[in-house]
Chain A
Amino acid sequence: MNAAAYFLMIDMESEARAIARGLRRRDPQLLDRLIEQYQHRLLRYLLYLAGNRELAEDLFQETWLRVLERGHQYDGGHEFVTWLYAIARNLTIDYLRKKRPVSLDGLMEDEEHTPAEPADTQPLAWEIVAQHEQAERISAALVGIPADYRETVVLRFQEGLALDEIATVTGAPVGTVKSRLYRGLNMLMSRLKGAQA
């Protein structure tokens, strides 16, 4: 490990510990800063997880309230964003279970509950990405793949999480994460090829 990487790691660890201390104190200024810092990443993750912008925004707010309530559970041992995504994910699953008794795994077999095509029923979710034709096609292809695969692809390639971090967030073994990544990317590529044909 070179010196820069070492100091970066030390810096990240001390930041995680500082966040953990602040969360235990329920420091409002720290929470304000975290909300601003992770706003786009968290919303993007929730948007692709829930497939609906309005719901994603509700879950965004609920996630931060949950962070406030359960902040003492974050020990600073790993990156804050991993813990944040795990909370967001659990809230989304809880919401989907209450709405309909299915889990994210259930969504895989449930074609009817696959997040809707953006152009038809959920235009709001895609207003932002619809500016470019390519972005639109990719987004459409992304919501078309099963939720577990979509989540893994988004966490890896958009959020830049490591495989073990994705495993922590999703509660799946690293081997499963790898296979979801492979299959998810394949599905995405074949869907895009199909759309282009």
Chain B
Amino acid sequence: MTRDTHDEARELITLGDALSDAQQIWLRHHLEECVSCRDYAEGAAQMVRALRSLSVVADARLVRTTQMRVRFHAARLRETRERMWLVGMACLGVGLTATLTLPLLWRLFAWMGEQAGVSTLVWQAGFLFFFIAPALVVSVVLLARGNHVNSHGQGSRQW
């Protein structure tokens, strides 16, 4: 019997119940003949039993703290998702409104430009400003609010 055969047998022993039928038959046959591999199998079985007897217990405090943190984090994620949904809906509404009112506003500005006797370039510039002004105002407000929230948040996290 070669050393490879013993190595193979020992490798199969460590795999435990993950053996095919053919491997089990071969191993059983080998163990009947080989004393050293039988000793190895016994030692490995003892080792596995000892490993399974080791207990590590999580204490109740750890479990409670984890559950609390997970719930808190879940609430924050839910709030963020709700906020993002609102922002998405607002964007959709604004986009639709802008698309529908764009031709009307364009005609209105053209008519007002004609009535005021200004050049095409001037009323078109006025139209452009009128069209992007709300978005600019909202951006500035959101930026200011964002800065306020950040500085407020940092302050409240210092406890």
Contacts and interface: CB of A to CB of B under 8 A. Distances in A.
B70 A128 contact: no
Contacts of B43: 189
Contacts of B50: 134-135, 138
A125 to B, nearest CB: 9
A89 interface: no
Interface stretch (B11-19, B26-34, B88-96): B11-19
Interface in A23-79: 26, 28, 31-32, 35-36, 39-40, 42-44, 47, 57, 60-61, 64-65, 68-69
The dominant DSSP class at the A interface is helix
A40 B58 contact: yes
B63 A35 contact: yes
Interface string B56-79: 111000110111011101100110
Interface in B71-128: 71, 73-74, 77-78
A163 interface: yes
Looking at chain B, what size class is its interface with the partner chain?
Answer: 20 to 34
A65 B51 contact: no
A27 B3 CA distance: 56
Contacts of A178: 11, 14-15
Given A60-B66, A138-B51, A31 B74 contact: yes
B44 A185 contact: yes
A27 to B, nearest CB: 9
Contact of B70 (A35, A44, A129, A139): A35
Contacts, number: 102
B48 interface: yes
A63 B156 CA distance: 26
Nearest 6 CB-CB pairings of A with B = A44-B56, A39-B58, A43-B58, A157-B51, A182-B14, A182-B11
Interface of A: 26, 28, 31-32, 35-36, 39-40, 42-44, 47, 57, 60-61, 64-65, 68-69, 128-129, 134-135, 138-139, 142, 153-154, 156-158, 162-163, 178-179, 181-182, 185-186, 188-189, 192
26 contacts: A28-B70, A28-B71, A32-B67, A32-B70, A35-B67, A39-B63, A40-B56, A40-B58, A43-B57, A61-B66, A68-B70, A68-B73, A128-B56, A128-B57, A134-B53, A135-B55, A138-B54, A156-B16, A178-B11, A178-B14, A179-B11, A181-B14, A182-B15, A185-B44, A189-B44, A192-B47
Given A138-B54, A185-B47, 11 more contacts: A28-B71, A32-B67, A47-B56, A60-B62, A61-B62, A64-B69, A68-B77, A153-B51, A154-B51, A158-B51, A182-B10
